[in-house]
Structure 1
């Protein structure tokens, strides 16, 4: 069970549980259960909550260590999320208080990062570590294989597609953090 900062962020913004739930289009019971650590919300729900609280998605996760000049995130200690369709998983390899967000992603064979292309206010660079990846940006497909990278303006509708029969491992750098 993940630990979330939703209560802290909600209170800082002077919102009640009911106000957050209404704005995020979820039940008050769900917000209450998440804040008390009784349930883990879906990635779609976390995205809605992050949007209402005006923070990047991963800012909802409790930081693994206090802010300092140097932060080490050990393998297995990072925050992780899975896409709503279960095709993609992401591990945050950067600190929550930085200006660059780095994610290690895995996309199953035949999987997509999002059912439909989406956009957010940022810039991204995707690097394929293992496998192949189709990066769809604004309706144009870009094929990447081991070691290839693709940079784009995230305000353009985009998504990642693994149309191969092997899992794909990739890194994504996003600035400012907005995933």
Structure 2
């Protein structure tokens, strides 16, 4: 499904496979294989492609809906595993100006090897365990019920240095994960 969505968005922007590959800093062959559903790209690759297409990452996995009201059932939530150890489950419908995700970060892991940025605003609230939010090289320790709001243009990542999983809800506007 992600391959056909990438092809659709690439074509809508008038980009060739080569142009998209250059913008995403991946090989032309990889883009071609992904679009033809011959390869499953890593989350890092999908993130690069989404950035090159100027769309939120989760939009590459969604099907078009036109309803003004959307219900997302828990058992039908889209999930994606980040290389850093976060399992994301999309709570929101995946369209519009707000994205809401539930994240679970395994003990001793981080959302990314290095902090990264994207053009959004973000708010995270811890619902189980403890979480460290690293923004602009400053760490903020959060307990259950604590939240942290920040400009996502600042390099950031989520870290769980503890022995139990951390669960949290993230709201991002506009969607850009």
Bigger proportion of residues as helix:
2
TM-score, structure 2 normalization: 0.92
**Structure 1 residues 67 and 31, CA gap change in structure 2 (3 angstroms):** same
Match of 2:165 in 1: 167
| TM superposition outliers: structure 1 runs of 4+ over 6 Å | none
Shift of 1:3: 6.3
Q: Distance in 2 between matches of 1:148 and 1:77?
A: 28
Q: Distance in 1 between matches of 2:132 and 2:16?
A: 42
Any residues of structure 2 matched to 1:8-23 within 5 Å, and which?
A: 8-23=8-23
The CA RMSD over aligned residues, in Å, is 1.6
Shift of 1:146: 1.2
Secondary structure class of the residue paired with 2:15? coil
Shift of 1:4: 5.2
Stretch deviating more after TM superposition (116-125 or 26-35): 26-35
Q: Distance in 1 between matches of 2:10 and 2:36?
A: 13
Stretch deviating more after TM superposition (108-117 or 72-81): 72-81
Match of 2:111 in 1: 113
Shift of 1:172: 0.3
In structure 2, the gaps of 5 or more residues are none
Match of 1:39 in 2: 39
Match of 1:56 in 2: 56
Residue deviations 1:31-69 (CA, integer Å, cap 9, x gap): 122222233211110111111111111111122x62211
Q: Distance in 2 between matches of 1:156 and 1:18?
A: 30
Shift of 1:175: 0.5
Q: Distance in 2 between matches of 1:95 and 1:4?
A: 20
Q: Distance in 1 between matches of 2:4 and 2:83?
A: 18
Shift of 1:164: 0.5
Shift of 1:101: 0.6
Residue deviations 1:110-152 (CA, integer Å, cap 9, x gap): 0101111111111111011110001111121111111111111
Match of 1:70 in 2: 69
TM-score, structure 1 normalization: 0.91
In structure 1, the gaps of 5 or more residues are none
Q: How many matched pairs?
A: 177
